[in-house]
Structure 1
Amino acid sequence: MNIFVIGANGRQGKLLVKEAINQGYQVTAVTKSELIEKHQEKVNVLKKDLFDLTTEDLKLADVVIDAFGIFDPEKLDQHQTSLSHLTDILSKTNKRLMIVGGAGSLFVNPEKTIRLLDTPEFPKDYQPLAQSMAIAFENLQKVNDVKWTYLSPAAIFDPETQATGQYQIGEDNVILNQKGQSYVTYGDYAKAMIDEIKNQKFINQRFTVIGE
């Protein structure tokens, strides 16, 4: 099985590439710049901008992982336009699209009427980013001709701490670990996503993950 990772040079993208290799998948890194990683010799590289990708470019992919991220306040709408572009070029191909999503759109009440980004505790600085990603997710839910999966991290998404290899999964609501925290490392998030390729529990659904 060939997994294409878009945004393979990003912090999360690198760990997704590493985890996919560790699980025995063939990996193609899609990146605008040269792939700089110690496992480079094990990875095919497609050097191309996400917005220039075509259906033909992805013809050898079984799974496409979208790890694209943008933090420039002037370009936050690219979370929406990039995902729209990917669903367009993967339309009716039966290839699986897996998206590194945001936590802000997770619900905090059983009725699923209040999102994490709507709560007073949500950091104001992250509000525009979370809102743009939430809109992208809302649009994705209307797509019915692509086999997609959206993985929301925990509220605390830790890029620094070593992965434990252990995680718990939920669906549309924020979940807490034994310490009462919504927390996950980048590494454990990557494992959860790559595991889902085999498990196939969340086709055309969103799920979330927490660590210890």
Structure 2
Amino acid sequence: MKIGIIGATGKQGHTTLKEALSRGLDVTAIIRNKRKLTEEVPFIEKDLFDLTATDLAPFDVIVDAFNAPLGQETLHQTSLDHLITILANTENKLIVVGGASSLFIDSKKTMVLGDTPGFPESAKPTAKSMRNALADLRKVTNFDWTYLSPAAFFNPNGHKTGHYQIAGDVLTKNEKGESEISYADYAIALVDEIEANSHHQERFSVVSK
């Protein structure tokens, strides 16, 4: 199995890269600047928006760990739209590192986290763009994809426990009443999905145990 990770030098992309390498998987980093790559792995040095179907054809699975810069939050949607276009009618599997703001906070699915009172104003542009991107992805039926949302608190400094719970479209809390997962445990869940290939054209979420 050949895996390409877009954004493999970013925080979550790099964590996912290390997790995949620790399992002996065949990974290629798809990055804008090779000087930021610290692992000895094959790489494609190319801007996401310049990627073509030919570039991605060798990979069984493509992980989209792109993170839009501050002030350019709309790139969350436009970058995924570009991938949707070039992956149309291919055999590739796309797994998207998603957000939590589009998770529903109630079982009746009447409100998402990003619309709740107290949701940080500074995070709303990203939340809106990522929600729109997910909506675009959900219309796709001509290739296989999975969208993986973290818990509400996506902790870059959290411990790697090796344990997590799988949930769906509704924000889920752990036994401590917390909605949290570390980058490291999220990476484990994502690579587990690469190996198991359990979710097809759907979103699922993960939370720590």
**TM-score, normalization by structure 2:** 0.97
Q: Which residue of 2 aligns with 1:52?
A: 50
Instruction: Tell me the CA shift for residue 22 of structure 1.
Output: 1.4
Does the CA contact (< 8 Å) of 1:80 and 1:132 recur in 2?
yes
Identity, % of aligned pairs?
A: 46
Once the two structures are superposed, residues 148-188 of structure 1 have per-residue CA deviations (whole angstroms, 9 ceiling, x without a partner) of: 10000110000012211111110101000111010000000
Matched to 1:65, the amino acid is V
After superposition, where does 1:1-212 map in structure 2 within 5 Å?
A: 1-34=1-34, 36-38=36-38, 40-41=39-40, 43-73=41-71, 75-212=72-209
* CA distance in structure 2 between the partners assigned to 1:37 and 1:55 by the alignment: 23
* CA distance in structure 2 between the partners assigned to 1:56 and 1:199 by the alignment: 26
Secondary structure class of the residue paired with 2:29: strand
Once the two structures are superposed, residues 75-102 of structure 1 have per-residue CA deviations (whole angstroms, 9 ceiling, x without a partner) of: 2111111101101111111210000001
Matched to 1:56, the amino acid is T
Does the CA contact (< 8 Å) of 2:63 and 2:97 recur in 1?
yes
Aligned residues: CA RMSD: 1.1
Instruction: Tell me the CA shift for residue 121 of structure 1.
Output: 2.9
Unaligned runs of 5+ in 1: none
* CA distance in structure 2 between the partners assigned to 1:127 and 1:25 by the alignment: 36
Does the CA contact (< 8 Å) of 1:90 and 1:146 recur in 2?
yes
Does the CA contact (< 8 Å) of 1:151 and 1:207 recur in 2?
yes
Secondary structure class of the residue paired with 1:56: helix
Does the CA contact (< 8 Å) of 1:71 and 1:129 recur in 2?
no
Instruction: Tell me the CA shift for residue 30 of structure 1.
Output: 0.3
Instruction: Tell me the CA shift for residue 137 of structure 1.
Output: 0.4
Q: How many residues align?
A: 209
Does the CA contact (< 8 Å) of 1:35 and 1:45 recur in 2?
no
Instruction: Tell me the CA shift for residue 35 of structure 1.
Output: 5.1
Does the CA contact (< 8 Å) of 1:157 and 1:184 recur in 2?
yes
Secondary structure class of the residue paired with 1:103: coil
* CA distance in structure 1 between the partners assigned to 2:197 and 2:61 by the alignment: 12
After TM superposition, the runs of 4+ consecutive aligned structure 1 residues lying more than 6 A away are none
Unaligned runs of 5+ in 2: none
* CA distance in structure 1 between the partners assigned to 2:37 and 2:18 by the alignment: 9
Once the two structures are superposed, residues 47-72 of structure 1 have per-residue CA deviations (whole angstroms, 9 ceiling, x without a partner) of: 00000000111121000000001132
Matched to 1:199, the amino acid is A
